[in-house]
Amino acid sequence: MMNPESSTEKEQEVKIPKENLVKLDTEKVFYSATELLTMTIEDTDYLMEPIFPRIGTAVLVGRPDCGKSQFARQLCIQVALKDSTFLDFKLSARYQRSIYVTTEDGLDATRSAVKKQFNGLSLTENDNVQFLVADTMEQKRIVKLLNKELKRNPADLVVVDSFGDIFTGGDSNNNMAMRNTVKIFDKVAKEHGSLILFVHHINKSGYKQSPSQEHIQGGGGLTQKVRLAIQLSDAPGNKRYLSVVKGNYCPKKFKENSTVLGFDEETLLFENTGMMIKTSAIGAPKDDRQVKRKSELQEAAESIFSDSAITYGEFVTKYQSYSGKKVATAKRVHKEMLDLELITKEGDKYSLNVEEDLEIDE
């Protein structure tokens, strides 16, 4: 494993054939129609066809211990191996180089995981994949090191594991703060012709539900800015589901269906089983989730409203105290209760819907 800081400025830069350079001119902002139509770089150009775009930002999400880091690390390794496929999907790496930024694991944990995967792939070493052990670094330093290394040695893929550690906003539900964080790395990706893949988490509420971008931590600010969002989910028999929950140029087939992957806990490697499943069929049945959700909201309404009518503002305050959630969540819950007719409006106040309450008791 190499550390980007160990290289010196005097080292000779890697020579990349001019026809392979795909860096974008980030200083140029005005384009004529002629320029756009004669460009040789296509927006639908893929690093892994037809899912991972060649340039920009993407996010891989899932619940803890589902194999997100192993998946992303395996992709990094196979890009650097000059492999033509990854999980039976076509790989088109121009530089055959990748960088894995680990902000959660230290050197020992990273070395142990890499060793297992290299052994599983029957490899002894490979200098084309580098690991930046950044568990004690701030975002600013990580970006600086990436810019320096990518300028010297361009890479097809940069994995940042995990997004939560490089997010600099105070509130992960603040869409603008989320977008601004992605924007910093998006600029790096476009300047150096790379794909930056964030490893991130889903909310606990989405653990047993069908894969969806609405379950990704951080709300719409993150998913709106990245070009691709994929989710890794647990499946029976030591398998995993790989689902595309947002893909700007991804075929409909992969948005509606999830790829079934096999996972080896000894080698920490994935393989494509050749099977697919309807994404909507993953997770608990929708009807069961709706019943459970309605029951939860009913319990909350009974506790908050009791026998008195309260204003909208009073509800927000009471719900925050009841649940420990933020204002935005309280407002969303209030609307859910109205839509389900658990509460009713009387003038400028709201109260428990007694008829609905009696019906449930029966």
Half-sphere exposure of 61 (CA within 13 A, CB side): 31
Q: Is 12 exposed, middle or buried (0-12, 13-18, 19+ CB in 10 A)?
A: exposed
Which helix H or strand E contains 334, and what residues bound it? helix 327-339
Q: How confident is the model at residue 274 (pLDDT cuts 50, 70, 90)?
A: very high
DSSP structure string for 259-282: EEEEEETTTTEEEEEEEEEEGGGS
Give the pLDDT mean for 121-144.
93
Q: Report, in angstroms and rounded to the nearest whole number, the Rg of the chain calculated over CA atoms.
A: 24
Q: Starting from the edge strand earliest in sequence, which strands make up the sheet with 46-49, in order?
A: 52-53, 46-49, 89-91, 85-86
Which helix H or strand E contains 52, and what residues bound it? strand 52-53
Question: Helix, strand or coil for residue 158?
Answer: strand
Predicted pLDDT at 272: 97
Which helix H or strand E contains 339, and what residues bound it? helix 327-339
174/310: higher pLDDT:
310
Residue range 350-362, pLDDT digits in tens: 998 864 333 333 3
Residue 301 has φ and ψ, to the nearest 5°, of: -65, -45
Q: Name, in order, each residue with C-beta under 8 angstroms of 160's C-beta and a sequence gap of 6 or more.
A: 101, 103, 142, 166, 185, 196, 197, 198, 199
Predicted pLDDT at 240: 97
Predicted pLDDT at 229: 97
Q: How confident is the model at residue 286 (pLDDT cuts 50, 70, 90)?
A: low
- What domains lie within the chain, and their CATH numbers? 14-281 (3.40.50.300), 286-361 (1.10.10.10)
Q: Name, in order, each residue with C-beta under 8 angstroms of 120's C-beta and a sequence gap of 6 or more.
A: 264, 266, 267, 268, 269
Q: How far apart are CA 129 and CA 155, in angstroms?
A: 9
Decide: 58 and 199 in contact? Cβ < 8 Å.
Answer: no
Query: Measuring CA to CA, which residue among 61, 51, 60, 63 is closest to residue 234?
Result: 63
Predicted pLDDT at 278: 94
Give the pLDDT mean for 257-275.
97
Predicted pLDDT at 41: 57
Structure tokens at 129: 């994949």
Predicted pLDDT at 8: 41
Q: What is the percent of the chain with per-residue pLDDT over 70, rounded to a whole number?
A: 87
Q: For residue 63, what is the DSSP state?
A: S
Predicted pLDDT at 26: 59
Q: How far apart are CA 159 and CA 178, in angstroms?
A: 18
Q: How far apart are CA 326 and CA 25, in angstroms?
A: 41
Q: How confident is the model at residue 29 (pLDDT cuts 50, 70, 90)?
A: confident
